[in-house]
Amino acid sequence: MHHQVMMLDEEIGSPLSIESLGWMAAPGSNSSASYNNFEIYMGLCDADVLTSNFENNYISGTRTLVFSNPSLAVNATVGGWFTLNLDSPFEYNGTDNLLVEIVWESGTNSIYVYKWNTGTVRSLKGASFSAETGVIGSDVYMIDLISSQGFSQESVAWIKANAFGGDSE
């Protein structure tokens, strides 16, 4: 699978050293899942909507591998947050939009996470690990940006998950 979502600069609000990412497990999730060749990339985007090409959505030179695990095991409880500590922090500049891209080759079981409909094209889903293009959409996974600078649990993802309920996928 191949997923890319965009968080707008005004949703984040300021420069941030992102050290971990968090998601809230949604109904229908298994309590554990495993993913092969799991990677997370982060980078910057200067447009407010995504195109169908993963690489073209980045400002040139900003796509950065921040997490890689050949055999990732994840445990989650529905309604609870689970986090992944990044291999290296991503230094978000506070000016451009933020892209989070997640890819994995195969896996066992599924952990679904809450999402929300942005009303604009801010997500991209590819059918395979190596997909260069995908299907654009407006549903964005709620992601908690976690930093020692104190941005955890007040992120737009947490606010939307708790105030609006959110949908799951």
162 compared with 34, residue with greater pLDDT: 34
With tokens 């889903």, the residue in question is 125
Q: How far apart are CA 60 and CA 43, in angstroms?
A: 9
Q: How far apart are CA 21 and CA 152, in angstroms?
A: 9
Structure-block tokens of residue 118: 């942005």
- Summarize pLDDT for 118-139 with one digit per residue, the tens: 999 999 999 998 999 999 999 9
Domain span at residue 141 reads 2-164
- Summarize pLDDT for 90-129 with one digit per residue, the tens: 999 999 999 999 999 999 999 999 999 999 999 999 999 8
pLDDT surpassing 80 at residue 9: yes
Model confidence at 150, pLDDT cuts 50, 70, 90, reads low
- Summarize pLDDT for 66-80 with one digit per residue, the tens: 999 999 999 999 999
Q: How far apart are CA 120 and CA 110, in angstroms?
A: 26
Percentage of the chain with pLDDT > 90? 85
The reported pTM is 0.89
What is the 3-state composition of the chain as percent helix, strand, coil, each rounded to the nearest 5?
A: 10, 50, 40
Contacts of 67 (CB under 8 A, 6+ apart): 38, 39, 40, 84, 86, 87
> Does residue 86 lie within any of the structural domains?
yes
> Does residue 83 lie within any of the structural domains?
yes
> Does residue 91 lie within any of the structural domains?
yes
pLDDT surpassing 90 at residue 6: yes
> Does residue 169 lie within any of the structural domains?
no
Dihedral sign from CA coordinates of 61, 91, 94, 7: positive
> Does residue 37 lie within any of the structural domains?
yes
How many domains are contained in the chain? 1
> Does residue 39 lie within any of the structural domains?
yes
> Does residue 110 lie within any of the structural domains?
yes
**Mean pLDDT value across residues 43-66:** 98
